[in-house]
Amino acid sequence: MGSFDDRLDAVIDRIAIDTTNIARRGVVTDTRSRQSLLTGYAYGEVYDWDGYFENVFVTHLGIRTFCRRNVQAFLDRQTPSGFIERTLGRTYPKPRQHVKPFLAQTLLLGMRHGDDPAWLAGTYLERLIKSIDFWFRHCDPDHNQLASWNSADHSGMDNQDSRAGELDAMRIEGADLNTYLFRELQAAAFIADELAETSEADRLRAQAERVAEAINEHLWSDADGFYYDRDDLTGSLRPVRSVAGLLPLWAGIVPPDRAQRLIDDHLSDPGAFWLPYGVATYARTEDDYYQDVVGDECNWRGAVWVPTNYMIAHGLRGAGYTELASELADRTLDLAISLPTTREFYNGETGGGQGLDPFWGWSTLAYVLPLELRESYDPTELTTRPARSLLTEYLGADSLDTAIDELRSAV
């Protein structure tokens, strides 16, 4: 395993190839606005959380336009209740699944790269906030500040069915969902501040704090030192060790003593989550853990995905575990760059590529994560401080410049 600098030329070449793929195959036209949108998928579907991480990569190339356009496309499809389908329905409609809470985070990312939020004032800000409030008005039946969902398909961790088991899947308070909601409320509060909606910003921040408190009160198992999903009908924890239980680290809401247990007893344990190529999406001790795929499935029962490695690496850095964060970043880069093409997900034990081939979606973050950690920079940080485009700052090369120019022309 070489360092980032040792593999710099290979990284630049791969980024140029993936950027060209984005320009030629990852820019699609919205059927309503006729504007160009960003997708990591050759079949053209535009997703909620995928779009956030795809935009993290693209903003590193100095392009912020898709942050606004992708979110606006979702907000334009909102129903009166506040519901928004979690895909644009180009290929895979999800008519009963509400959009995952990443829209405000995507807009905040664009703002940090210079996008003017004035277009949100009024109707669009109302829609954005309504999409967040939907989770608490319609998906929190026990009113404990934790929203519920289908913890498999709705979560995007498609086949993690055992997190719900035989229960009605829509009553599962996901550790991942509520981590995202905490961050989404915080991001929306920053946006409201920028639009001089001070009282709304205060309300959103207060609710974010209630969500953080509820995560730590209701989802933490002190016996196991882990965050589990919870059945909102019975109040019992669902003792399945999924990568979802590690994501509160990314939100920065884990007390230091709990972070140490979560990391020492689970995350960094080779017998649990710590694989040669990153963090398993199910612990090795789960009965339904496996690495290879069956047919054309997306495997989240053990296989390694770059976005979860990415979130956890920044969570580790934020918690002060900088060496472990850097090790995870290096393993993630090694996983992606060692194959001829970027892949959708990976066998975390062998490093084999799985899923779409080639893939130019969120897996591209593997190539920038080590650089972010070296620069002590987190583009997902919830702040209004100006963001950086590290790839254009540090990785100038004719091939990459040509690919970026082509992507700019496709916007």
Query: Which amino acid is it at 164?
Result: A
- Provide the pLDDT for residue 199: 98
Strands 229-231 and 172-173: antiparallel
Would residue 312 count as lying in a domain?
Answer: yes
Give the residue numbers spanning the domain of 366. Answer: 1-30+268-378+386-411
Would residue 358 count as lying in a domain?
Answer: yes
Would residue 259 count as lying in a domain?
Answer: no
Q: What are the tokens at 212?
A: 């953080």
Would residue 109 count as lying in a domain?
Answer: no
Q: Which of 182, 190, 152, 197 is nearest to 247 (CA)?
A: 182
Each residue's pLDDT, cut to its tens digit, for the chain (411 residues) gives 567 888 889 999 999 999 999 999 999 999 999 999 999 999 999 999 999 999 999 999 999 999 999 999 999 999 999 999 999 999 999 999 999 999 999 999 999 999 999 999 999 999 999 999 999 999 999 999 999 998 788 999 999 999 988 877 789 999 999 999 999 999 999 999 999 999 999 999 999 999 999 999 999 999 999 999 999 999 999 999 999 999 999 999 999 999 999 999 999 999 999 999 999 999 999 999 999 998 889 999 999 999 999 999 999 999 999 999 999 999 999 999 999 999 999 999 999 999 999 999 999 999 999 999 999 999 999 999 999 999 998 888 888 999 999 999 999
Would residue 279 count as lying in a domain?
Answer: yes
Q: How far does Cα 382 stand from its chain's mean position?
A: 14
Number of domains in the chain: 1
Separation CA 103–CA 264 (nearest Å): 33
Separation CA 352–CA 95 (nearest Å): 34
Q: Which of 12, 14, 122, 100 is nearest to 50 (CA)?
A: 100
With b for 16 or more beta-carbon neighbours within 10 A and e for fewer, the 316-354 pattern comes to bbbbebeebbbbbbbbbbbbbbeeebbbbbbbbbebbbb
Separation CA 408–CA 391 (nearest Å): 15
C-alpha distance across the termini of the chain, in Å: 36
Give Cα separations from 148 to 95, 98, 207 (angstroms).
17, 11, 16
Separation CA 243–CA 315 (nearest Å): 13
Would residue 339 count as lying in a domain?
Answer: yes
| Contact of 323 with 336, CB cutoff 8 Å | no
Would residue 211 count as lying in a domain?
Answer: no
Would residue 346 count as lying in a domain?
Answer: yes
Over residues 141-158, the pLDDT tens digits come to 999 999 999 878 899 999
Q: Which of 103, 233, 95, 89 is nearest to 154 (CA)?
A: 95
